Chains A and B, each alone.
Chain A
Amino acid sequence: MSQDDELTDTERRALDAWAAMTPPPGFAERVLAAREAETAPASPRRRWPVRTGLMAGAAAACAAAAIAYLATRPASQEASGSLVAEARTEARLGRRAIAVAEAEAALRWQIDRDGAATVDHTAGDVFYRVDRGGPFVVHTPAGDVRVTGTCFRIEVTPMNKKHVLVSGAAGAALAAAVVITVYEGHVVAETRSARTELAAGAQAAIGPDGRTTVASRAPAEEDRDATREQLIARAGEQRAELARLRTRLAALEKQAPSEPRAPDNAAEEGRAWYDPSPERLAQWVAECHIRADAPSLDHYHPLSPDQKNERGIEPAEVPAVNAALGELHQQWKQLVRALYLEATGDTTGGDTLSIDAMRRELQDKSPPNEHNLLLQRIARERAGQLAPPADLSKASPYERMMRAYLELGGQAEAAIARRLGPARAREIRGDAWSSRSDWSGCP
């Protein structure tokens, strides 16, 4: 309170240690452009289509699915989205793949500009048809399935996300951590300890320990050379394995709790998809349901000025949009990498892994119930029933990653607003950014 209380010179010098941010290059121009946008009379703009690529529904039951996005772009194959099916649902994953998801199946996908696809399949039964055209990888909790062009089916038990079922022919309900059957083409099943190549007609099981067992397969060179006794013995082993797996499946099904039903995915009348009404947010508390949209930042590619785009971004606006999203992409990458390093200590992986891969690792490293606890808490926060944490410094890396992800849509809009003005940024965001996610499920 007295003058003696003032900081000493030494203490003042210490204050310098806390560095401040400096303005980015071009900040003054950005301010003046925003000011101009603020004061200029509104001019009509072309609004981008609200839902350019809605999830395709081959079956009537598709309408009951909870869908979190599908969009394909005319100038690239880039697309991303996620899906929680309430009934059989057909989804197009970019231009070259179709997934038919049975009830309670859950998956998320990201298709790069060049067509390379990554799918996270976390629950339920899904049949995939994939045309040739680049890497296509399905990540399951027990292993990865890599294909170049094939048909296959994957089923994930709802009871335990660590147990993955991949069943072959329709109705062949095999039970194991993973069973893979290939209808056409060629598949590589990879776990941490094994890499198994499977041709059309082959079927294999991957156990929870990562061990791969070929349960049946198409005739191969060695089969043609096998004796009758060897073939009979092999068939007996396979029948025994199938019987054991079926018994295990029945036990799992008895224990498995029913998956939460995903609520209606549609945007409400007069509201953007990403902006649910307070009433809907209140309803979602009971389902621990949250929603977020984001531009494609995990696999970011800048727009080219001559590239047609579904959001109606004019060629003159492309540099500003690229600068905004490019900057956000870098920040997102830095954050995910920092959280990945914090969670794993893996500096090598931090330098080489994709954002998507690091996010998966973060989720894998999180405690089993953390995801659902987080959904529950955030759903309550969004409904105004719980104050958001003021300080997340003690939160787990996964929680910080999730919360940051939930803000990306708004941050992207804000970053563009700084350059093109808030009204135009809102127009470009439209009903939602290209990646739309709905999560639900209480602990």
Chain B
Amino acid sequence: MIGLAPTTPSTELDAPTLRRAVRGDGEASRALVELYQARVFALVSRMLAGRGRATVEDAAQDTFLHVFRQLAAFDPGGPARLSTWILTIAARRAIDELRRQRPTLLPELDRAEGRAGERADERAIRRELASAIEAALHELSPELRAAFLLREYHGLEYAEIAGALGIDLGTVKSRLSRARAALRERLAEVHREPG
């Protein structure tokens, strides 16, 4: 059996630390990166699947540099959580990268990592499932890929996704529906295969 889906951390940076980060305080800035880096990597690495760790790290770093440049403009009292705002920046950065249409580099990396205590058969099943999910998402446009990931892996609301990506709310819902159908089809193929 595969493990349970990881829960998205719900914590947000506290207001005093955020204010200090806005003023350029080093420790507060570090705290911000450390709190959100796993979520940014989770989103960006799936958005840029197959493009290699270096590309992912570049995108993640650019995300945070952009966050710091714009942090003073972020409104903690506004409708968006800081995590949503940061993930939106990360998604846009990844979309820009995908639009460059650079060829896949170092594609075999990061796919074969085992998990602690995982048996060989579990690992094989997980790889198949991962390939199926990745293949289903590969068929989506960069924006819809981001929308799917923000929804299914990061728990954003439809309205947040539509606002973040500049896509009509109805379009987000209908296209995500099609994406889920494609995903189900891929997963069904995996389960139909013998062994």
Residues of A within 8 A of B (CB): 1, 5-7, 11-24, 27-32, 34-35, 38, 328, 331-332, 334-335, 338-339, 387-393, 400, 403-404, 407, 411, 414-415, 418
Contacts and interface: CB of A to CB of B under 8 A. Distances in A.
Contact of B26 (A32, A335, A404): A32
A328 B54 contact: yes
Contacts of A17: 2, 125-130, 133
Contacts of B103: 388-390, 392, 403
B104 A331 contact: no
A382 B144 CA distance: 28
A414 B2 contact: no
A14 B110 CA distance: 18
A84 to B, nearest CB: 25
B121 interface: no
B187 interface: yes
B110 A400 contact: no
Interface in B38-74: 38, 40-43, 45-46, 50, 52-54, 56-58, 60-61, 64-65, 68
Contacts of A12: 5, 152
A262 to B, nearest CB: 25
Contacts of A20: 41-43, 45-46, 153
Contact of A5 (B33, B38, B153, B177): B177
Contacts of A339: 108
Interface of chain A: mostly helix, strand, loop or mixed:
helix
B165 to A, nearest CB: 18
Nearest to A6: B180
B105 A407 contact: yes
B54 A21 contact: no
Interface centre among A16, A403, A407 (most CB of B within 10 A): A16
A31 B133 contact: no
A193 B104 CA distance: 39
Contacts of B53: 21, 331
A387 B65 CA distance: 30
Contacts of B30: 28-29, 32
Contacts of B42: 20-21
23 contacts: A1-B177, A5-B180, A13-B3, A13-B4, A16-B4, A16-B6, A18-B46, A21-B110, A23-B60, A27-B33, A27-B37, A27-B61, A34-B61, A331-B53, A331-B54, A334-B106, A334-B108, A335-B106, A387-B101, A388-B102, A389-B103, A400-B104, A404-B106
B109 interface: yes
A108 B95 CA distance: 39
A8 to B, nearest CB: 9
Interface of chain B: mostly helix, strand, loop or mixed:
helix
A335 B105 CA distance: 9
Contact of B129 (A18, A22, A391): A18
7 residue pairs, one from A and one from B, having the closest CB atoms: A17-B129, A21-B45, A20-B42, A28-B33, A338-B108, A16-B5, A18-B130
B23 to A, nearest CB: 13
Contacts of A6: 180
B104 A391 contact: yes
B11 interface: no
A31 B65 contact: yes
A268 to B, nearest CB: 23
B20 interface: no
A21 B52 CA distance: 10
A418 B33 contact: no
Contact of A392 (B3, B61, B104): B104
A19 B3 CA distance: 11
A23 B113 CA distance: 15
Contacts of B173: 1
Interface in B106-124: 106-110, 113, 115
Contacts of B125: 17
A21 B46 CA distance: 8
Given A1-B177, A11-B183, 14 more contacts: A7-B180, A11-B187, A12-B5, A15-B133, A16-B4, A18-B46, A19-B110, A19-B115, A27-B37, A27-B60, A31-B64, A331-B52, A335-B106, A392-B104
